[in-house]
Chains A and B, each alone.
Chain A
């Protein structure tokens, strides 16, 4: 019924051209991105290598001492396969120093802090190379709000943001990413053994079918509940989409003047490029 299959060859071509065009025209030649050992960052890195060459892509692995140890091995595997440089920057010292002041902090707070620490490092390293920070958030995560605001959600360019997780797997297979990377369970890896699908309470497979109907097909939640999909999950997912809208928009500015940044001052981002 719902067909989430994509023309992988066409999509790979468009995304490669997108990265090349947007990086080169703003006067940069390089990108940096976090390599987690998961499929999203591996795919983004692979596309960036096609677009800019392996010398122009720098991967950063930024493990915390409680991250799954095999994640770093997987990040190295991705870097070796693609022939890119992998910088390993441990974030344990600064994270532990910070939370020594707040020992009561729960895993969510600690995870968000780590995601923002990684963002901060990516931007710092990008400045040393005049590189752009490449994002790796997919459409499923963006719509579900499954990301850290100003953490993994902060970057200059995102080639994966309009691909559902299930579509992203199709592209990963087409581009021949290592089987081990494609097959492992999706994880934010904020702590060892974490699983996205356990966190969310549903699988990306289920979510993507529902999201596709709600967003791409513009069916109302009531109409989607009438399809052969879990009706309760439709309600849960639509509410997640609604309640996380703030994560997908820039901060609100109180309008005062006749022309306000973000509201009616509307030059394109690619202004002059």
Chain B
């Protein structure tokens, strides 16, 4: 029998307790174990799922280092499956990162440190956090023997098209996008929240243009009056919605990805094959020389 090319996903759209690391950890481990027991291959949580988002001075209080007991608990709960959790990661230099951590088969396989820290309008991330400096693709066998090429974009990373572009050049086929997006924009002509419309457009565009799966897991609930609008969804590599979007309540979205969709999309739209990286390099090289 050919190795399975399907991946069973669970997107846990929830409301963490702001600043209560232990409560969120216990709850997350429970959710992971439950999902693993029902055969889920990858359990995904939103941005900063272990801490809550508007942490302010709670940032260092809720941080974990990679060798912490708490991370061992997540590894144990995940077992042979995979999980993606959001946390404040503390470096040995005592810098604090908004990180998404991919755990699988007994180890942390990849950590993405959010590159773009929004510090405008309602956001103040650069006051509290250090920024990551790279987008990397990690290859991981999930749901069978077949490897998936995973790239992570945390919330604001999505607002810079160079982020998915770089992951695409590194061969990504599955974009995982954990988010803590607060809702704003309720003009009557919009039909949906302005922020939800923006994410919808970005996710559709990226999944279609980079012919990759894009999985968006946003949180819900309120923090200090900010409303997180949920809307978690799974986009196929043709830009169509495969599952979701959820509403703004706590809910788990289940979906199954078929690698065959990637092949079919890339045959129909060979955009990656035709990408003129030489043009990009030449022009950016000239810009850099200027």
* A contact residues vs B (CB 8 Å cutoff): 220, 249, 252-260, 262-264
Across the two chains, which residue of chain B brings its CB closest to A263?
B122
Does B263 reach chain A (CB closer than 8 Å)? no
Q: Knowing that A254-B227, A260-B184 are A-B contacts, what are 15 other residue pairs whose CB atoms are under 8 Å apart, sorted by A's residue number?
A: A249-B224, A254-B222, A255-B182, A255-B183, A255-B184, A255-B225, A255-B227, A256-B186, A256-B227, A257-B184, A258-B194, A259-B121, A263-B122, A263-B225, A264-B121
Does B270 reach chain A (CB closer than 8 Å)? no
Q: Give 16 CB contacts A-B under 8 Å.
A: A220-B61, A253-B225, A254-B225, A255-B182, A255-B225, A255-B227, A256-B186, A257-B184, A257-B185, A257-B186, A258-B185, A258-B194, A260-B122, A260-B225, A263-B225, A264-B122
B221-243 at interface with A (beta carbon < 8 Å) = 222, 224-227
Interface hub of B61, B182, B226, B227 (most chain A Cβ within 10 A):
B226
B178-194 at interface with A (beta carbon < 8 Å) = 182-186, 194
Across the two chains, which residue of chain A brings its CB closest to B225?
A252
Which residues from B are CB-within-8-Å of A220?
A: 61
Q: In the complex, A71→B222 CA distance in Å?
A: 45
Which residues from B are CB-within-8-Å of A260?
A: 122, 184, 225
Q: In the complex, A252→B61 CA distance in Å?
A: 23
Find out whether the CB atom of A252 lies under 8 angstroms from the CB atom of B224: yes
B33-86 at interface with A (beta carbon < 8 Å) = 61
Find out whether the CB atom of B61 lies under 8 angstroms from the CB atom of A263: no
Q: Evaluate whether A256 and B184 lie within 8 angstroms (CB atoms) in the complex, with A220-B61, A263-B122, A264-B122 already known.
A: yes
Across the two chains, which residue of chain A brings its CB closest to B19?
A242
Which residues from B are CB-within-8-Å of A257?
A: 184-186
Q: In the complex, A263→B183 CA distance in Å?
A: 13
Q: In the complex, A262→B61 CA distance in Å?
A: 25
- B173 CB to closest chain A CB (Å) equals 35
Q: In the complex, A249→B226 CA distance in Å?
A: 15
Which 5 residue pairs across A and B have the least CB separation, nearest first?
A: A252-B225, A264-B122, A264-B121, A256-B186, A253-B225
Which residues from B are CB-within-8-Å of A263?
A: 122, 224-226
Q: In the complex, A222→B61 CA distance in Å?
A: 11
Q: Which of A258, A259, A262 contacts B225 (CB 8 A)?
A: A262
Find out whether the CB atom of B226 lies under 8 angstroms from the CB atom of A255: yes
B104-122 at interface with A (beta carbon < 8 Å) = 121-122
Across the two chains, which residue of chain A brings its CB closest to B193?
A256
Across the two chains, which residue of chain A brings its CB closest to B120?
A264
Which residues from A are CB-within-8-Å of B121?
A: 258-259, 264
Q: In the complex, A158→B222 CA distance in Å?
A: 31
Q: In the complex, A260→B122 CA distance in Å?
A: 9
Q: In the complex, A259→B186 CA distance in Å?
A: 11
Find out whether the CB atom of A255 lies under 8 angstroms from the CB atom of B185: no
Across the two chains, which residue of chain A brings its CB closest to B121?
A264
Which residues from A are CB-within-8-Å of B61?
A: 220
Which residues from A are CB-within-8-Å of B227?
A: 254-256
Across the two chains, which residue of chain B brings its CB closest to A251?
B225
Q: In the complex, A263→B184 CA distance in Å?
A: 12
Q: In the complex, A86→B222 CA distance in Å?
A: 47
Across the two chains, which residue of chain A brings its CB closest to B185?
A258
Question: Quick one: CB contact mask for B21-36 with A, threshold 8 Å, 1 for yes?
Answer: 0000000000000000
- A249 CB to closest chain B CB (Å) equals 8
B183-223 at interface with A (beta carbon < 8 Å) = 183-186, 194, 222
- A67 CB to closest chain B CB (Å) equals 38
Which residues from A are CB-within-8-Å of B186?
A: 256-257
Q: In the complex, A197→B222 CA distance in Å?
A: 37
Q: In the complex, A254→B222 CA distance in Å?
A: 9
